[in-house]
Structure 1
Amino acid sequence: PRREWWNNLRDVEKVFYGILFTNACVYLAWKVPAFRNTLQMYFTDHTLKTPLYLPMLLNAFSHYSVIHLGINMYVLSSFSTGLSTTLKGEEFLAFYMSAAVFSSFTSLCLKVLRGSKNASVGASGAIFAIFALFATTYPNANLQIVLIPNFTFTAEKGLIGAMCLDFVGMLFNWKIFDHASHFGGALFGLWYAKWGRNFLRNNRIKLAQKWHDLRSKK
């Protein structure tokens, strides 16, 4: 039955469960004192880093709180299921990881401008990119906030509202969420939906050849 259940999943849904498993493992690793220095080095995102680049990706798989982890994975599950007929698994994973890096970069830029030393963790930036891609693909889809029954809104309006909230949060330096990461992720999702996906499709042979040439020179 388990194998049948797995085989019946779409590619994007299988990728989601891989992301969920990875996030759960990293969360449990935070509970082991011997792992904390390594996790602090590679799985948090802030400006006081010697290895600056890898944490821009890995922090998106890191959560301190089980509530934070649970909410993020619930939201990601909802949107990944919605996009499972639109994207292939490989494209979804590449998009998710690229969005994680870009949202971290946006967050780091604002931290540098403000001289902030706060560390960031969590998948929220990448999830906002998924949200933006979903809202652009299905703008009239009805969404609902968890624990608020009988209140629905379209995906397009929800995205606009969320981006406005994060923009205000950046202006006033609110510290409840990493608003710059959310905003950067949403921008990346909008870019990919409007231009990035078509660009990659139209130039995939050229890009593959350049990658092959680059690998051959090593």
Structure 2
Amino acid sequence: MVAQQVLSRTLHLKNTATVVVAIGAGAWYTNQDTLERTSSSSSSLFSSWSRTLSGAPGTGLQPSLARQRWEETYARASEWVARVPGNRLAIILAENWVEMSEAKRTSAGLIASFVGIWLAWRLPAKLGIGQWLAHQPLSGKAITLLTSTFSHRTLTHLGFNSIALFSFSGATFAALSHADSDLLPRSTSRYEFLTLFATAGVVSALASHLWFSRVIAGGLLKRGLTTREVRSAVLPSLGASGAVYALVSLTALSFPSTSVSLIFLPFFPIPIGLATSALVAVDVIGLVRGWRMFDHAAHLAGAAMGAGWYFAGHAVFEQVRKWMWDGQKQRIEEERGIVKL
């Protein structure tokens, strides 16, 4: 029991460190991308933004900087097509990639990683790759809290999470790009989106870990099962469901008048608030009654993470950006030789 408590504290610390690092990295890259594009396009605008840090005009996603990112995407796609002349498929793929919003391109990249890990599950078991792709609550590993977020073993699981991620990415980007708590301008919301996805995945995996290691495993031990039997009964967890739930709850809070359609009932739109509440209710019932088909603890933690990001997380992300802004701005000014007026 003491060993289990020490293990839980260690996982808590590592989980907290992962969240802090993810937020810091997302904030840094958002600032860097914004400042580099600003300094190269207009030094006067670059210096003026330092005077608009209190919700004044000039905060949130800047269309001119977002346009620069799109033009860079177009240029890279054109270069790729030029390297394979006469390839009609390459042209079609490039056109579709460029026509996608940045939200869709970002989610497509995540889905590609899902597919890659799904293929890794097909490799011979003797390679031992599977132990790093799913989180076993009694294993003592912390890294799998993160890696399991991108891991799907069945095609059905992969398909449902990929469709949901792709569907809600656009609304999530919109919510992150223009919020009342914005403090700074930004050229993209990609890095905050990835920060939210990663942190929600880790937090939901930790919630699943705590539920199965303390509640489920503890109950089995009290019933007299051996440690070996408990390890066999507590199954590993994996999948992006918790992270996707965060996107769903954030969207529901940001755009409460939006309606969604279920895959099997596409012609009957349902208010997103009602749909999200129903999903949460099912997960609460499933958790209380001990249903094992889905990871209800991870789902609920993911939904809570999305709500937390709506109410406080975005503001914290913006505050971290503000703390880093002046230092990053000064370094870029020095590198570019921009003279302060």
Q: TM over 0.5, yes or no?
A: yes
The answer (yes or no) to whether the contact 2:121–2:129 under 8 Å persists in 1 is no
Query: Is 1:112 matched up with 2:213?
Result: yes
- Kept in 2, the 8 Å contact 1:16–1:77? The answer is yes
| Partner-residue secondary structure (3-state), 2:143 | helix
Bigger Rg, which one? 2
TM-score for the superposition, normalised by structure 2: 0.57
**Higher mean displacement: 99-108 or 152-161:** 152-161
1:25 corresponding residue in structure 2: 116
Q: What is the Cα deviation at residue 80 of structure 1?
A: 0.7
Distance of aligned partners of 1:204 and 1:149 in 2 relative to their CA distance in 1, 3 Å threshold: closer
Q: What is the Cα deviation at residue 203 of structure 1?
A: 3.8
Return 176-185 or 149-158, whichever deviates more: 149-158
Q: Distance in 2 between matches of 1:152 and 1:134?
A: 16
Q: Please, which moves more after superposition, 169-178 or 9-18? A: 9-18
From 120, 123, 126, give the equivalent of 2:243: 126
CA distance in 1, matches of 2:100, 2:269: 28
Q: 2:317 aligns with which of 171, 188, 200?
A: 200
Deviation at 1:188, TM superposition (A): 0.3
C-alpha distance in 2 between matches for 1:36 and 1:27: 15
Structure number with greater CO (CA < 8 Å, separation at least 6) is 2
- Following the alignment from structure 1 to structure 2, what is the Cα–Cα distance between the partners of residues 65 and 117? 19
The SS at the match of 1:83 is helix
Residue 45 of structure 1 corresponds to: 135
Which residue pairs with 2:158 in the alignment? 69
Structure 2 residue corresponding to 1:98, chosen from 178, 183, 199 = 199
Give the C-alpha shift of residue 177 in structure 1: 0.3
What runs of 5+ residues in structure 2 fail to find an aligned partner? 1-90, 177-188, 218-232, 327-341
Q: What residue is the counterpart of 1:212 in the other structure?
A: none
Inter-CA distance 207–166: structure 2 relative to 1 (3 Å threshold): farther
2:233 counterpart of 1:143: no
For structure 1, list consecutive stretches of 5 or more residues without a partner in the other structure: 210-218
Moved more, 184-193 or 145-154: 145-154
Alignment RMSD: 2.0
Q: Secondary structure at the match of 2:263?
A: coil
The normalised TM-score by structure 1 is 0.88
Residue pair 2:138, 2:213 contacting (<8 A) in 1 also = no
Q: Measure the CA separation in 2 of the matches of 1:78 and 1:36.
A: 35
Compared CA separation, residues 171 and 202, structure 1 to 2 (3 A):
same
Counterpart position of 1:172: 289
Answer yes or no: is the 8 Å Cα contact 1:14–1:89 preserved in 2.
no
SS at match of 1:109: helix
For the pair 1:59 / 2:148, whether they are aligned, the reply is yes
Q: Does 1:89 align with 2:190?
A: yes
Between the aligned partners of 2:127 and 2:291, the Cα distance in structure 1 is 27
CA shift in 2, pair 1:47/1:34, >3 Å: closer
Secondary structure at the counterpart of residue 270 of structure 2: strand
